[in-house]
Structure 1
Amino acid sequence: MSLHDEAVRTLKGYEGLPGHEGADAAQRELRGVYLDHLAAHPDGLWKACGAGHLTASALVVDAERGRVLLTLHKKLGMWLQMGGHCEPGDETLERAALREAREESGIAELTPVPGGPVQLDRHPIPAPCHWHLDVQYAVVAGPGAVESISEESLDLRWFGYDEVAAVADGSVVRLLERTRRVLDA
């Protein structure tokens, strides 16, 4: 199965968080935007797609489930979850998110939180492209995990759940809230 086909399958199966059907109407609407984009753009997963492209990211949660690891993005100067562009060797969106999280955090032992994507987030980006259609996952770091800054970051830091809203934008805050719901379920 191609990554394009796998992305369509993953998105068709994404309903939002279990038990939050009413609150997730916006997520299901966004899922439709993603599916329409992939239907209109066979290259919609790749950075070269000028109309926008899917990206994959992951929020890294510590083993004790009280902190998250954020990266101070070099180009954007914002504290964000780990993530980025899909690559030809990626077999699934989840594996793309996991690869990005490992590369950007330096932590090899990361376990995806079961259940698929936690959140979809569409945000504008500078030209020549127009949109990132981010498929966001959550991963848990192994006990004693030690992070290592990558060349894509200005800084890499663990933040307590209650500290995130003071340093990150609304998308990251929502991703953390949704991740906590999944972990607490």
Structure 2
Amino acid sequence: MSLHDDAALVLKTYEGGGEAGQAELRRTYLDHLDAHPDGMWKACGAGHLTASALVIDPAAGRVLLTLHRKLGMWLQMGGHCEPQDATLAQAALREATEESGIDGLILLAGGPVRLDRHPIPAPCHWHLDVQYAALAPSGATQRISEESLDLRWFAYDEVAGVADASVVRLLEAARAAL
């Protein structure tokens, strides 16, 4: 099965947790994949799917965010799918592991917790992000990557003060899935 096929299957079974707008986004993502055989890749000028994961330490009630080097914003770990990614889940886990430096992350069972579509500068126009939650092992220590200016753990109630609304919605969806 190709990554494109896996993404379509994941999206067909994604329920959205009852959050407003998620069913419409799901349809947008599926329409995009139907119209663009290259819709998984950065080279797709009409936009492309990306995979991300919010790293959570539920025992301590905190999440790990990265201060994104290019955007200067606190975000979850994530990015572009790569040819070696067999599934969206693998892409999200790879990105989370690379950007957090934490080995032993485990994606929360049940698939993605939310979808988020956001504009990006040309030549591409949209990121259609498929968002997962990744559980950090007990005592996890992060290690900054070249993609980040900083990595920091934030208590759940601190996230709204440092991150944008999309990260807050992702945290809410991840906590509901826990």
Give the TM-score category using the shorter length.
Answer: over 0.9
**Are residues 1:102 and 2:97 paired?**
yes
- Unaligned runs of 5+ residues in structure 2 are none
Shift, 1:60, TM fit: 0.1
Of all paired residues, the percent bearing the same amino acid is: 75
Structure 2 distance, partners of 1:45, 1:72, is 25
Secondary structure of 1:155's aligned partner: strand
Counterparts in 2 of 1:1-185, with a 5 A limit?
A: 1-17=1-17, 20=18, 24-183=19-178
Q: Is the 8 A contact 1:86 1:96 kept in 2?
A: yes
Q: TM-score, normalised by structure 1?
A: 0.95
In the aligned structure 2, how far is the partner of 1:101 from the partner of 1:7? 18
Name the aligned partner's letter for residue 146 of structure 2: E
Write the distance in 1 (CA, Å) between the matches of 2:42 and 2:80: 7
String of CA shifts for 1:146-175, please: whole Å, max 9, x gaps.
000000000000000000000000000000
CA contact (8 A) 1:63 1:143 kept: no
- Shift of the 161–25 alpha-carbon distance from structure 1 to 2, 3 Å rule, reads closer
CA distance in 1, matches of 2:43, 2:60: 37
Q: Kindly indicate whether the alpha-carbon contact (under 8 Å) linking 1:63 and 1:142 is maintained by their aligned counterparts in 2.
A: no
Partner Cα separation in structure 2 for residue 77 and residue 68 of structure 1: 18
Deviation at 1:25, TM superposition (A): 4.4
Q: TM-score, normalised by structure 2?
A: 0.98
- 1:13-39 CA distance string (max 9 Å, x none): 00112xx3xxx3410110000000000
> RMSD value over aligned CA atoms?
0.8
User: What stretches of structure 1 of length at least 5 have no aligned partner?
Assistant: none
Equivalent residues of 1:46, 1:53 under 8 A apart: yes
Assess, with a 3 A threshold, how the Cα gap between structure 1 residues 141 and 99 changes in structure 2: closer, same or farther.
same
1:57–1:83: 8 Å Cα contact kept in structure 2?
yes
